[in-house]
């Protein structure tokens, strides 16, 4: 028989354990924590989340390498880079993310920040405040990101969309960083138009495994519908901030609790 109270007590306890400043150092969220300027946080966080597959140590190292090529001033770089600066980026590669992808990201960000002050606006194009969750937001961001003329087809694999039934793990993690607000020091809470209650839980391999053991998901694979199912079940425990339990599920996975 499903033990709801026992599951909620476990997740609350582990949420408080892992939503702690000690969590930052060994996680990709440490990358945007190096910055204080809002736009630097947004840009560095976007790259860190897009690179977030594989070992966390490698993700941090490769994002750091790219930021070094940007003189550790990503906002200034995307707005004011020279052709020589772009040439230096051609040496960068992380798994299947290569120089073509890097240069397109930089070009999109340059054109975007010439018009908008915050990357949050790119996630508001497709959604309304009444939406239950960010599905339309992610679709809108995807469409906007690939709205530049002659975008590389290959780069599409690095930005997920729920329209293709992807769980959108990395971009949902990015939104958690930018949107969630608390005083515990990990997430930034620098965006205000998207509500924490509208976030969708990132479904990485650790989260999926633990969620199955806790009977929080029933679908056979990690797709968008699973992400919705998981978030809906977490919302029963905290309707205003269901994605806070991402800390608990991920932490339980890292601890090999199950």
**What sign does the CA torsion over 114, 46, 108, 34 have?**
positive
Residue 160 confidence class, pLDDT cut points 50, 70, 90: very high
Q: Using 50, 70 and 90 to split pLDDT, how confident is the model at 234? A: very high
> What total of structural domains would you count in the chain?
1
pLDDT digits (tens, 9 = 90+) for 101-133: 999 999 999 999 999 999 999 999 889 889 999
Q: Following DSSP, what letter does each residue of 108-157 receive, concatenated?
A: HHHHHHTT-S-GGGGGTTT--TT-SSSHHHHHHHHHHHT-STT--GGGGG
Full domain range(s) for residue 29: 4-254
Per the listing, tokens 């609790």 go with 257
Residue identified by tokens 């977030």 is 52
- The mean pLDDT value for 149-168 works out to 97
Sign of CA dihedral 2, 223, 51, 181: negative
Measured CA to CA in angstroms, residue 108 lies from 4, 19, 42, 84, 145 at distances of 45, 32, 14, 18, 7
Tens digit of pLDDT for each residue in 44-88? 999 999 999 889 999 999 999 999 999 999 999 999 999 999 999
């Amino acid at each position: 028989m499903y033990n709801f109270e026992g599951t909620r007590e476990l997740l609350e306890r582990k949420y408080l354990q892992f939503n702690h400043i000690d969590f930052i150092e060994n996680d990709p969220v440490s990358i945007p924590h190096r910055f204080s300027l809002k736009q630097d946080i947004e840009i560095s966080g976007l790259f860190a989340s897009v690179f977030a597959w594989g070992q966390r140590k490698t993700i941090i190292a490769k994002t750091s390498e790219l930021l070094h090529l940007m003189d550790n001033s990503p906002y200034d770089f995307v707005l004011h880079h020279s052709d020589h600066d772009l040439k230096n980026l051609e040496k960068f590669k992380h798994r299947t993310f290569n120089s073509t992808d890097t240069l397109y990201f930089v070009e999109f960000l340059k054109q975007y920040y010439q018009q908008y002050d915050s990357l949050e606006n790119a996630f508001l194009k497709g959604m309304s405040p009444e939406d239950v969750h960010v599905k339309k937001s992610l679709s809108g961001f995807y469409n906007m990101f690939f709205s530049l003329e002659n975008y590389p087809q290959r780069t599409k694999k690095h930005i997920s969309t729920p329209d293709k039934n992807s769980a959108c793990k990395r971009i949902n993690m990015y939104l958690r960083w930018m949107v969630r607000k608390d005083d515990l020091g990990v997430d930034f809470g620098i965006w205000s138009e998207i509500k924490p209650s509208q976030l969708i839980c990132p479904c990485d391999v650790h989260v999926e495994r633990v969620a199955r053991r806790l009977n929080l998901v029933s679908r056979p694979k990690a797709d968008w519908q699973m992400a919705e199912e998981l978030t809906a079940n977490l919302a029963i425990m905290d309707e205003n901030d269901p994605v806070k339990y991402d800390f608990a599920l991920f932490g339980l996975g890292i601890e090999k609790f199950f």
